[in-house]
A and B are shown apart, each in its own frame.
Chain A
Amino acid sequence: MALSRVTFQVKKGEFVFLTGPSGSGKSTILRFLYMADKPTSGKVWVNGVSSDTARGREISKLRRRIGIVFQDFRLLEDRTAEANVRFALEVTGAPKASIGAKVSRVLGQVGLASKATSFPRELSGGEQQRVAIARALINDPFVLIADEPTGNLDERATRGVFQLLRDVNAAGTAVVMATHDLDLVRASAYRTIELNHGHLVFDSADTSKPGTLGTGREPGEGLEAESDGSGKA
C-alpha cells in the first residue's frame, strides 16, 4: 500500500489508535515502525534509529525493545504458552538464568499464570492473544505495536485484551494500535490517527494538542514517521 505525505510523531508513553478502512496503509505504517519495510522516500525514526541508515544488526537490537502483536497471534503451535514467551528471550541471547523468572512474571501480568503449560490450540482466542502480548512484553519494550489485535476476538475477549493494552500503557509503555473497531476508539479518549488511501486524513492531536504533531528532524525518544513513499502492506 502506498503512503503519501504521512507525518506524525508518537511520544514516549503515548497511546495512539491508527484507524482507517482495509488497505488504507495502517499495516504499512506499523511495518515501517518495526522496520520490516523502509519508505522509498521520507524517513522513520524509532527511538533514535533512523530508517535510512539502520542495518540488520541495529534493526534486530531495536526490535528487542519493541513489542509486536498481530491479529492472528502468530504463536508457535507446537509449544506451550510458556515456551512461546520464552522463545523471544532464547533467540535473542538472553542469559538463561534470568529467563524462567521473567516468563512467569509476564505471564502473571497478562493473567495467564495458570495456563503456562497449555498449547495454543487449548486456549481461547483472547488467551492466545494474551500469550502473544506476554511475548511482546518480555523484553520490557518502550512501545507495543499492535496490528488489529482484537480483529479475531469476540466482544468479551476484545474488552479484556484492550484493557490489558491500557494497563500496559499505564505502566509507561507507548502503544500504537491499528484497528477498525470504532467502538473501542470512541470508548476511550486516546489520540487517533486516521488514514485513507495512504493519506493521513485526521489526527486528533492535530486539533486538540497541535504541539505533538512532529515535523522535527532530530531523532527523539519516541517514534516519528514521515513518508512520501510506498511500502508493501
Chain B
Amino acid sequence: MTASRRAPLLSVLSVITIAFSLFAFGLFGLAAINIRSALEQVEERVEVRGFISHATDIESVAAAMKDIGEFPEVARVDYVSEERALERARKEMGEFADVFESGVLPASVEVHLRSGQRSPDNVRSVADRMRTYPFIDDVRYGEEWVEKLHRLRNIATVAGIALGLAFAAVAVIIIGATIRMAVLARAEEISIMRLVGATDMFIRLPFLLDGLVKGAIGGILAVLFTWVAHRTVNEYFLRTVFFDRELIFLGIIGGATIGVMGSLVSVGRHLRRI
C-alpha cells in the first residue's frame, strides 16, 4: 500500500468516489428491484375484463372462454354473471349499495394472465384478440398503470446505470491520479528495479493490488451506504427488499474492477516515462 502512504488524501478520495459510484448503482438498483417486486404483486392481479352484451347465450360465452383459455398467455378465465357483478359492486361501494339494480352491470369474463406474460404488450395483445368476439362489447385492463410502472422501472434502471457510470469514470480518473503520484514518488526505486532485471509485471503488481484493495473497500462502503438507505426507507416510508447475496458480492467485485482499471491505465502510462 505504498500508494496510499504517499497520497493519503487522494487515496481516501478514490475510495469514496468508488463508493459513491456504486452507491448510485445501488440506490437505483434498489429502486429497480423494488419496483419490480411491486410489479410482480400488482401483476398478480392483472386481469383483462371483457364485458358481454346483454342477452348473449351462455353457450357462445362458454365457447369463447374455452378459446381464450387456450391463448398461450392466459392462465385462467372466469365468468362473472350480472348477479355476481352487482354483488361485488355493492360490497365494494357499500354507501351506494341501493343505487345499483339488477341488470345495470353487464356480465363479464375475467382473464388472468400467466406470470411472465404480463407485460403491457402481452396484455394489450390479449385484449385485442378478445375484442374480436362480437358479443364482447368492451375490454378493460389496467393499461395505464401497468405501463407507468414499467416505465418507472426502466427509468430507475437507466438513471442508475448512467449515474453509476459517470461516477465510475470519475473514480477511474481519481485512482489514476493516485497511482500517478505513487509511481512518480517511487520513480527512483522503479528505475533501479528495471536495471536489475525486475519484470514489468512485478513492477506493476503492487499498483494493481493497490487499486484492487481500494476498489473493494469502495464496494463494501457502497453496500453499507445502500443498506443504510434501505433501512431508513423501511423505517419511515415503506417496506422494501434488499439485494441478495449474489448482488452484494457483485457490487464489491464491481468496485475492485473499477480500482484495477484505474491503476492499469495509469501505471501503464506513467511507467513508460521512467
| A residues apposed to B, CB below 8 Å | 34, 36, 56-57, 60-66, 68, 74, 76, 87-88, 91-93, 135, 139
CB contacts under 8 Å to A, within B178-197, are 188-189, 191-197
Across the A-B interface, give the 7 residue pairs with the lowest CB-CB distance, nearest first.
Answer: A63-B197, A64-B197, A88-B196, A91-B198, A60-B199, A91-B193, A60-B197
On whether the beta carbons of B192 and A87 are closer than 8 Å, the reply is yes
For A90, give the chain B residue with the smallest CB separation: B198
Select one of A63, A65, A76, A93 contacting B195, CB under 8 A: A63
Contact of B96 with A by CB under 8 A? no
> Could you list 12 further interchain pairs (A-B, Cβ under 8 angstroms) beyond the known A76-B188, A88-B196, A135-B196?
A56-B199, A57-B199, A60-B194, A60-B197, A61-B197, A63-B197, A64-B197, A74-B191, A92-B196, A92-B197, A93-B202, A139-B197
Select one of A34, A62, A64, A74 contacting B192, CB under 8 A: A74
On whether the beta carbons of B202 and A91 are closer than 8 Å, the reply is yes
For A76, give the chain B residue with the smallest CB separation: B189
Contact of B200 with A by CB under 8 A? yes
Q: Closest approach, in angstroms, between the C-beta of A42 and any C-beta of chain B?
A: 23
- CA separation between A76 and B194, bound complex, in Å? 14
- CA separation between A87 and B189, bound complex, in Å? 10
Query: Could you show 6 A-B contacts with beta carbons less than 8 Å apart?
Result: A61-B197, A63-B194, A68-B195, A74-B192, A91-B198, A135-B196
On whether the beta carbons of B196 and A34 are closer than 8 Å, the reply is no
**Most A C-beta atoms less than 10 A away, residue of B188, B189, B199, B203:** B199
Q: Interface size (B, Cβ < 8 Å)? A: 14
CB contacts under 8 Å to A, within B154-200, are 188-189, 191-200
- CA separation between A135 and B196, bound complex, in Å? 8
Q: Closest approach, in angstroms, between the C-beta of B119 and any C-beta of chain A?
A: 54
On whether the beta carbons of A62 and B197 are closer than 8 Å, the reply is yes
On whether the beta carbons of B199 and A63 are closer than 8 Å, the reply is no
CB neighbours of A92 from chain B (8 A): 196-198, 202
CB neighbours of A68 from chain B (8 A): 195-196
- CA separation between A64 and B197, bound complex, in Å? 5
Known contacts A91-B202, A93-B202; is A76 also within 8 Å of B192 by CB? yes
Q: Closest approach, in angstroms, between the C-beta of A101 and any C-beta of chain B?
A: 18
- CA separation between A61 and B193, bound complex, in Å? 12
Known contacts A74-B188, A76-B188; is A60 also within 8 Å of B200 by CB? yes
**Most A C-beta atoms less than 10 A away, residue of B194, B198, B202, B203:** B198
Q: Closest approach, in angstroms, between the C-beta of A169 and any C-beta of chain B?
A: 20
- CA separation between A76 and B199, bound complex, in Å? 19
Select one of A56, A57, A64 contacting B196, CB under 8 A: A64
CB neighbours of B188 from chain A (8 A): 74, 76
On whether the beta carbons of B195 and A34 are closer than 8 Å, the reply is yes
Q: Closest approach, in angstroms, between the C-beta of B264 and any C-beta of chain A?
A: 16
**Most A C-beta atoms less than 10 A away, residue of B193, B197, B199, B200:** B197
- CA separation between A73 and B203, bound complex, in Å? 21
For A64, give the chain B residue with the smallest CB separation: B197
- CA separation between A74 and B196, bound complex, in Å? 12
On whether the beta carbons of B198 and A60 are closer than 8 Å, the reply is yes
On whether the beta carbons of A56 and B200 are closer than 8 Å, the reply is yes
CB neighbours of A36 from chain B (8 A): 194
